[in-house]
């Protein structure tokens, strides 16, 4: 299979995502330019972190108008696997592929550190290599990672089991102190109703090998390959 990594002006985690996808799975990867109208027959798309279009207006607000986003919308609509990491999560929310929005961190400071995530839903194409309640050690690096949605949307996310990751303590407790950015209900990652689109603020691309301080991020990419192999059978 082949991962496609979209590059916007200002993306700075595109190479990380490209390398992590290959190192974690042994599969192929390709870079996709934001002005392209072709996803080059990729089987899964990564919308990487960074500062697409300089984060002017607000994070992801300009990126959603990039030519390649038309193709991404069609790809996701047909069931294609899409993961948005950090700025990629923000872009997917702006583009309407995921509900809610990412606001400024509580405390208004940029945060860059390892955090712990509890897997809330292991029945997705992105988490099938995990078990419910598993705790993953994955770094964050963001200024606008404070997830928010209205009450009705939060209810729907819970009812439909779309909350995939929540910030937790190392032993899996969901506490206010474990929440690094003020995200509603400690939400760190969500999926769409179809389970084929995931957005997460933490960076699995920065922890795909033990040399990087954790290899837990590899489970995300391996899960995607598992899902595609199962679908192809």
CATH 3.40.50.300 fits 2-232, yes or no: no
Among 103, 81, 88, residue whose Cα is nearest residue 192? 81
| Residue 230 confidence (pLDDT) | 86
Kind of pairing between the strands at 44-47 and 81-85: parallel
Distance, CA of 129 to CA of 90 (rounded, Å): 25
Q: Please list the rounded mean pLDDT of every run of 10 residues in the chain (233 residues).
A: 97 97 97 97 98 93 97 98 98 98 96 98 98 98 98 98 98 98 98 98 97 96 96 70
* Domain layout of the chain by residue ranges: 2-232
Q: How far is CA 101 from the centre of its chain?
A: 13
Contact between 62 and 18 (Cβ < 8 Å): no
Record the pTM. Answer: 0.97
Distance, CA of 82 to CA of 32 (rounded, Å): 13
| Residue 68 confidence (pLDDT) | 98
Number of H helices, E strands in the chain: 5, 11
CA of 93: how far to CAs of 60, 85, 119, 197, 201, in Å?
8, 11, 21, 11, 12
Distance, CA of 213 to CA of 158 (rounded, Å): 32
| Residue 233 confidence (pLDDT) | 63
What 8-state DSSP symbol labels residue 68? H
């Amino acid at each position: 299979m082949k991962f496609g990594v979209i590059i916007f002006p200002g993306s700075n985690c595109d190479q990380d995502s490209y390398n992590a996808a290959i190192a974690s799975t042994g599969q192929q990867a390709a870079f996709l330019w934001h002005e392209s109208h072709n996803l080059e027959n990729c089987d899964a798309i990564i919308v990487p972190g960074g500062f697409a279009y300089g984060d002017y207006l607000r994070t992801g607000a300009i990126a959603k108008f990039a030519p390649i986003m038309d193709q991404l919308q069609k790809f996701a609509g047909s069931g294609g696997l899409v993961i948005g990491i950090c700025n990629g999560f923000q872009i997917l929310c702006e583009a309407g592929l995921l509900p809610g929005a990412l606001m400024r961190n509580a405390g208004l400071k940029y945060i860059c550190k390892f955090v712990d995530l509890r897997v809330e839903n292991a029945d997705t194409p992105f988490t099938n290599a995990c078990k419910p309640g598993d705790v993953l050690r994955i770094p964050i690096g963001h200024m606008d990672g404070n997830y928010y949605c209205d009450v009705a949307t939060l209810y729907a996310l819970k009812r439909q089991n779309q909350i995939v990751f929540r910030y937790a303590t190392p032993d899996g407790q969901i506490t206010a102190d474990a929440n690094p950015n003020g995200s509603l209900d400690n939400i760190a990652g969500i999926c769409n109703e179809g389970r084929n689109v995931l957005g997460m603020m933490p960076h699995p691309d920065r922890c795909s090998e033990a040399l990087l301080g954790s290899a837990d991020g590899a489970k995300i990419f391996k899960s995607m390959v598992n899902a595609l192999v199962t679908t192809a059978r």
